[in-house]
């Protein structure tokens, strides 16, 4: 069932990425100044409204119920488990970026948390002061010199760019855990990610709600927050915002 769910998600994301990346280019001066490039704003706003409806009537109430019923320690443990499953894929991306140290740190965290953390439910690697090791193929493309591209909002996923949309697709295939037949970890990866997103959405509910439902223009604010934090992650600019609701792995709502 999970394998069947992957195909439409991948096809949707790839279609959006290909369609958007093929059409518009940004003025070089505006690009150099770091201005927001949103040539598909009308379509993006329509998708944003769809995502808000999906959040309001499905994801938000489910997440609130989840954190109300499940003890906080278990919410954290399930989040750790989902994060641990991503480490082999992070290691591959670090290798593609030429970052051998980062790849070693990702594999080290995976090994320690899998063995000592009961399959990744615990995070002894952090207790041992091991550095965080998190990356994705969008960052790999950035390292290779690919531009950010246009801002896009993906259905049921949320804020992204054409570069990162391509990265989302490729990341489905770069995790070595997904390459083995009859691999339980592959079947657990998407459910674990969904549970992790529910936990984050419920934990940061007030902050996310203030952006989605209390701001004058939730689309513009969410776009600004996402791009600001993503550029900061990639070392492109400083950022003052301490919490980005759209970067909390909540599915983008």
Q: In the structure encoding, which two tokens stand for residue 221, read together?
A: 């604010």
Q: What is the C-alpha to C-alpha distance for residues 169 and 166, in angstroms, rounded to an integer?
A: 5
**Residue 251, in any domain of the structure:** no
pLDDT of residue 183: 61
**Residue 252, in any domain of the structure:** no
pLDDT at position 28 over 90: no
**Residue 134, in any domain of the structure:** yes
Whether residue 26 contacts residue 151, with contact meaning beta carbons closer than 8 Å, is answered with no
**Residue 7, in any domain of the structure:** no
Q: How many CB atoms lie within 10 A of CB 74?
A: 13
**Residue 29, in any domain of the structure:** no
Task: Please list, in sequence order, all residues whose beta carbon lies within 8 angstroms of the beta carbon of residue 87, skipping any fewer than 6 positions away.
Answer: 106, 107, 109, 110, 113, 133
Domain count, the chain: 1
Task: Please list, in sequence order, all residues whose beta carbon lies within 8 angstroms of the beta carbon of residue 190, skipping any fewer than 6 positions away.
Answer: 2, 5, 6
**Residue 64, in any domain of the structure:** yes
pLDDT at position 74 over 90: yes
Work out the percent of the chain whose per-residue pLDDT is above 90. Answer: 68
The pTM of this model reads: 0.83
pLDDT at position 218 over 60: yes
Q: Which domain holds residue 144?
A: 37-234
**Helix, strand, coil shares of the chain as percentages rounded to 5?**
70, 5, 30
Q: What is the C-alpha to C-alpha distance for residues 148 and 143, in angstroms, rounded to an integer?
A: 11
pLDDT of residue 132: 92
**Residue 79, in any domain of the structure:** yes
**Residue 119, in any domain of the structure:** yes
């Amino acid at each position: 069932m999970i394998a069947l769910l992957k195909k439409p998600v991948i096809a949707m994301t790839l279609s959006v990425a290909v369609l958007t990346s093929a059409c518009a280019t940004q003025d070089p001066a505006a690009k150099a100044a770091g201005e927001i490039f949103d040539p598909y704003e009308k379509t993006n706003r329509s998708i944003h409204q769809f995502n808000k409806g999906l959040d309001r009537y499905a994801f938000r109430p489910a997440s609130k119920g989840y954190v109300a019923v499940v003890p906080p320690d278990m919410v954290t443990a399930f989040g750790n488990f989902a994060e641990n499953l991503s480490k082999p894929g992070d290691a591959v991306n670090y290798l593609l970026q030429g970052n051998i140290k980062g790849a070693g740190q990702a594999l080290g965290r995976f090994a320690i948390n899998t063995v000592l953390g009961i399959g990744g439910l615990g995070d002894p690697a952090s207790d041992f002061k091991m550095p965080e090791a998190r990356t994705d193929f969008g960052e790999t493309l950035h390292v290779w010199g690919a531009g950010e591209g246009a801002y896009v909002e993906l259905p049921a996923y949320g804020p992204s760019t054409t570069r990162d949309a391509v990265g989302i697709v490729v990341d489905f295939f770069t995790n070595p855990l997904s390459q083995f037949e009859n691999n339980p970890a592959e079947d657990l990866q998407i459910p674990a990610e969904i549970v992790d997103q529910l936990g984050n959405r419920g934990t940061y509910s007030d902050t996310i709600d203030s952006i989605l439902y209390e701001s004058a223009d939730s689309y513009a604010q969410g776009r600004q927050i996402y791009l600001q934090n993503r550029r900061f992650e990639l070392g492109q600019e400083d950022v003052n915002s301490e919490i980005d609701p759209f970067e909390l792995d909540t599915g983008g709502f």
